[in-house]
């Protein structure tokens, strides 16, 4: 995983957190749900990148 991907996925997660907070503050359940979904998607991408790195490291040994 490259540093660019790591930064991009973390930014997606933070954007989702902000959207969720905005949805809660404005009592907009749809926006809140979108924020939660964005966070989940970013976390899945981060986990996939970590798995790719672990596989790569295993083959490098």
pLDDT in tens, 14-45: 999 999 999 999 999 999 999 999 999 999 99
**pTM here?**
0.82
Predicted confidence (pLDDT) at residue 1 exceeds the cutoff of 70? no
The candidate with the shortest Cα–Cα distance to 15, out of 56, 45, 52, is: 45
Rounded to the nearest 5 degrees, what angle is found at the Cα of 11, between the Cα atoms of 44 and 38?
45
């Amino acid at each position: 995983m490259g540093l660019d991907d790591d930064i991009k996925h973390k930014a997606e997660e933070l954007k989702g957190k902000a959207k969720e907070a905005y949805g809660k503050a404005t009592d907009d359940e749809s926006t809140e749900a979108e924020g939660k979904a964005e966070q989940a998607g970013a976390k899945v991408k981060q986990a996939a990148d970590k798995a790719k790195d672990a596989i790569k490291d295993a083959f490098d040994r």
